[in-house]
Structure 1
Amino acid sequence: MATDEESPLVVEENHPQSQPLNHKRDVHILCWAFLLIFLAYGAVQNLESTINTEGDLGTISLGILYVSFAFFSVFASLVVRKLGSKNALVLGTTGYWLFTAANLKPSWYTMVPTSLYMGFAASIIWVGQGTYLTSAAHSHAEDYNLHEGTVIGKFNGEFWGMFACHQLVGNLMTLAVLRDEKGGRTSGTTLLLILFLCSMTLGTILMCFLSKRNGKEERLQESPVSSSSSIGSLLKSILILLLDVRILLVIPLIAYSGLQQAFVWAEYTKEIVKPALGERGVGGAMAVYGIFDALSSLAAGQLTSGLSTITIIVSGGALIQLIVLLWLLANYSVSGGLLATLLPLVIGALWGIGDGVLNTQLSALPGILFKHDLEGAFAQLKLWQSVSIAVVFFISTSISLQTMVVIMLVALCISVAGFLFLTLKVEKAFSYGAA
């Protein structure tokens, strides 16, 4: 029998009269739903700074969104526990739909409120996603007597591989629909946004077909707990988790994963792709980035089996991004001819590999290290990621590419050093203590 520490939220209660859940089916549904929602949102996010330029409305809206995301991530685990991971996923999709719809009539009165609400929606959809996927992986491993870490890695690899395809599909739709006109104007924006809203609606409908996860998650929803005691319990669990040396050593890597994602949206497209390939080349470069992100996610997920393999895979991904950063810092410059076309694409491909590695491995870690508080661990993951993303959006307009690269280099070195110390020293001590 599993111990209490190993069983919260992730173990099914298999009653004789109940039919076992089809965990792989649920993972497939989750993957397709997120693809339909984020192929739309990802493309809209890429376009924000170019279609809403007046008063920097697009960039500021994204900054507000990620500040809201960071704030609500503190309370997201409580909301997911109350609603259940499936209901949290469905509710979370509404924020993305409203944010995209607001772009049909962009103004401070439409974009700011929807950005604030989407921060809340994003916090619960991502905590819900991490909790749901890990719950399905634990249950599938138990039902079929499989190695838990391997199943977690494979499920995360499939999810993040499919998720990374949103960059490819969304940007290809953007390239197909938008048209450049004289005077720097762009036509087809309204049609593109309507198509994106249809895609998001399909994703939301698909999310409704997910099975409800059983076990402790359902019991938490049914238990009558007052709001004050729930908030007190939440703050206590956050404090307890932050006192765990393991989460403190993982936080720098979590923050770096947010930095490197925002680097693509804020710096790579503006400072590397656009000068060499022009605005039309941004979609193609992001498609290349998405392809390699998807492939590396699938490969990393298949190779994951536990903390030792996660350490090796993360180190490999970090090394690839370190090489790119050193290249940018040393002698990268926009040249002419074929080289000017290839270099931004090569950088995008290498960066996509690193992003795929970090996404799959950081998503697998909570299910391996923090089984006692899955929602809290995933909330910490999204909290520190969104804080670092918001910081990049707010400072990117006032610093140079070289300064950003230096910041990224320092953050990468600190995060990898902390993670290696965790895996080599701290987790070994925890394992001995639990033995």
Structure 2
Amino acid sequence: MAMDEETSLVFENSSPARTLNHKRDVHILCWAFLLIFLAYGAVQNLESTINTEGDLGNISLGILYLSFAVFSVVASLVVRKLGSKNAVILGSTGYWLFIAANLKPNWYTMVPASLFLGFAASIIWVGQGTYLTSTAHSHANDYHLHEGAVIGKFNGEFWGMFACHQLVGNLITLALLRDGKGGKTSGTTLLFVMFLCSSTLGTILMCFLSKRNGKEEELRDSSATFSSSVVSLLRTILALLLDIRIILVIPLLAYSGLQQAFVWAEYTKYLIKPTLGERGVGGAMAVYGVFDAICSLTAGRLTSGLSSITIIVSLGAFIQAIVLFLLLLNYSISGGLLGTLYLLLIGGMWGIGNGVLNTQLSAFLGILFKHDLEGAFAQLKLWQSISIAVVYFLSSYISFQTMVVIMLTALCISVIGFLFLTLKIERVFCHAS
């Protein structure tokens, strides 16, 4: 009888983890982020071209990412306390508020919305990275699969789906916006209302995610005081910053933010708008999104471990280096259809590099720091947001060519540091075996 009771207890305790449908949760997460970011991504692409009075668009985004950087320091603590599911739900509200502020853009609406979105973005992205990676670990353990391959596959699916937001959101922009007389653009109100509806649906969908069991539940339910949690967090951050692996990968984390801001602020403003107009921004970014999505899915499928990550990152960096050299040499095709196709090709090639970095950095951190996922993904978003803020604040003060030089220098430094780190890790594995 006692044996039967013990057996039933074992089955009762182990069944919740087994009954979690990990693939279902990944699909829900993918669709929720797509609905939210097809709206936000399109709005962000338009900021530097629509809200030009007093450079409101660029300054708002600069404030947003500066706020993002500041709150990234405590984002891991917030995610641990809330749980990754609750964190992504709360984080989604910031994007809704920012889109709503664009219905009446001025300093009194955009600046507070940007500040709040900085906080919301910090917890939604740490929550997303933690949730997706813990789901991958659980799926691999439940079905006795290779962890690296599952992490790569799940990240490939998420980032491939996420990259589609550029395609869908910007096609909606292309369909609804009209370039009017005197440089004015019509259709923005209807566009933002549609985006608010999309963002609302994404937030509702997140509520159907399963709560992840295990470490994060224990952390959230612990009786530790807030002050002791902050002290513990600061020690964790310091320990990570002293970790040679983080030190060597920080340049690549920062560059991944730089290259995103470059396409949002510089590519759209200096290459697309003068040639295709504000309406053309949507079409160009849709092409960027297609290449980004295809590359994310492909790179995720090809990821099996650190060696594959190294090769894929190197290829993505090489493609972006080609684009930067073309821009640095001021190579262009004058006017007409060929000129338009050339600009779209540059956007597509840049999208390939972004797809590589999104999938491979998430997989890389998930493999190397699986015992401190929140801290690792907080570092990713901290350095990304700092570099993005720098681009937006500098955009009005330096020339396009100077920005290209900065990008090329940052790319070289980041790749050197990353390759040195992967070689160091491979040597450790070789000595261990």
Which residue of structure 2 aligns with residue 146 of structure 1?
145
Distance of 1:403 and 1:76 partners within structure 2: 33
Instruction: Indicate the SS of the match to 2:105.
Output: coil
Gaps of 5+ in 2: 1-10
Distance 1:14 1:44, change over 3 A: farther
CA distance in 1, matches of 2:52, 2:274: 19
Q: Is the 8 A contact 2:173 2:279 kept in 1?
A: no
Partner of 1:48: 47
Alignment match, 2:238? 239
In the TM superposition, residue 58 of structure 1 has moved relative to its aligned partner by 1.4
Distance across 1 between alignment mates of 2:87 and 2:279: 37
2-structure distance, mates of 1:103, 1:410? 35
* Mapped pair 1:106 → 2:105: yes
* Cα separation, 2, equivalents of 1:237 and 1:39: 34
- Paired with 1:32 and 1:213, the residues of 2 have a C-alpha distance of 18
Supply the AA of the counterpart residue of 1:419: F
Tell me, yes or no, if the aligned pair for 1:14 and 1:20 is still in contact at 8 Å.
no
Amino acid of the structure 1 residue aligned with 2:426: K
Does the CA-based 8 Å contact 1:297-1:360 persist in structure 2?
Answer: yes
Contact in 2 for aligned 1:93/1:204 (Cα 8 Å): yes
Matches within 5 A, 1:357-396: 357-396=356-395
CA contact (8 A) 1:275 1:334 kept: no
Aligned residues of 2:49 and 2:269 also touching (Cα < 8 A) = no
Partner of 2:13: 15
Residues 165-193 of structure 1 deviation map (CA, whole Å, 9 limit, x = unaligned): 00111111111112222222222211111
Q: Over residues 357-406 of structure 1, what are the superposed CA-to-partner deviations in whole Å (9 max), with x where a residue is unaligned?
A: 01000011121101121100000000000000000001111111211111
**Aligned residue for 1:327?**
326
Per-residue deviation at 1:109?
A: 1.2
- Residues 32-52 of structure 1 show CA distances to partners (whole Å, capped at 9, x for unaligned) of 000000000001111112332
Match of 2:183 in 1: 184
Question: 8 Å contact 2:89–2:203 — kept in the other structure?
Answer: yes
1:220 aligns to what? 219
Answer yes or no: is 1:90 the counterpart of 2:89: yes
Question: Alpha carbon RMSD of aligned pairs, Å?
Answer: 1.5
Cα distance between partner residues in 1 of 2:280 and 2:267: 12
Aligned equivalent of 1:406:
405
SS at match of 1:384: helix
| Match in the other structure for 2:59 | 60
What is the TM-score when the length of structure 2 is the normalising length?
A: 0.95
Do the aligned residues in 1 keep the contact of 2:170 with 2:286 (CA within 8 Å)? yes
- Asked whether the 8 Å contact 1:179–1:186 carries over to 2, the reply is yes
**What is the percent sequence identity of the aligned residues?**
79
- Does the Cα contact within 8 Å between 2:48 and 2:265 map onto a contact in 1? no
SS at match of 1:371: coil
CA shift for structure 1 position 141: 0.5
Unaligned regions of 5+ residues in structure 1, if any?
Answer: 1-12
In 2: Cα distance, 1:407 partner to 1:139 partner: 41
Q: Structure 1-normalised TM-score?
A: 0.94
Q: CA deviation at 1:412?
A: 0.6
Contact kept, 8 Å, 2:65 with 2:389, in 1: the verdict is: yes
Deviation string, structure 1 residues 297-317 (Cα, Å, up to 9, x no partner): 000000001111000000000
SS of the aligned residue for 1:125 comes to helix
Match of 1:194 in 2: 193
For 1:147-162, what aligned pairs fall within 5 Å after superposition? 147-162=146-161
For 1:97-151, what per-residue CA distance to the aligned partner results, in whole angstroms no more than 9, with x for missing partners?
A: 1111111122211111111000000000000000000000000011111110000
**Secondary structure of the equivalent of 1:279?**
helix
User: 405, 414, 426: which is aligned to 1:428?
Assistant: 426
Q: CA, structure 1 residues 143+78, in 2 after alignment: closer, same or farther (shift >3 Å)?
A: same
Q: Secondary structure at the match of 1:333?
A: coil
Relative to structure 1, the CA distance from residue 42 to residue 148 in structure 2 (aligned partners, 3 Å threshold; closer, same or farther) is same
User: Letter of the aligned partner of 1:292 in structure 2?
Assistant: F
Query: Matches of residues 191-340 of structure 1 in structure 2 within 5 Å?
Result: 191-333=190-332, 335-340=334-339
Contact 2:271 2:343 survives alignment (8 Å)? yes
Distance 1:423 1:381 in 2: 17
Distance 1:189 1:271 in 2: 22
Give a deviation string over 1:212-245, Cα, whole Å, max 9, x none.
0000110111110101100000000001111110
**How many Å separate the matches in 2 of 1:274 and 1:51?**
11
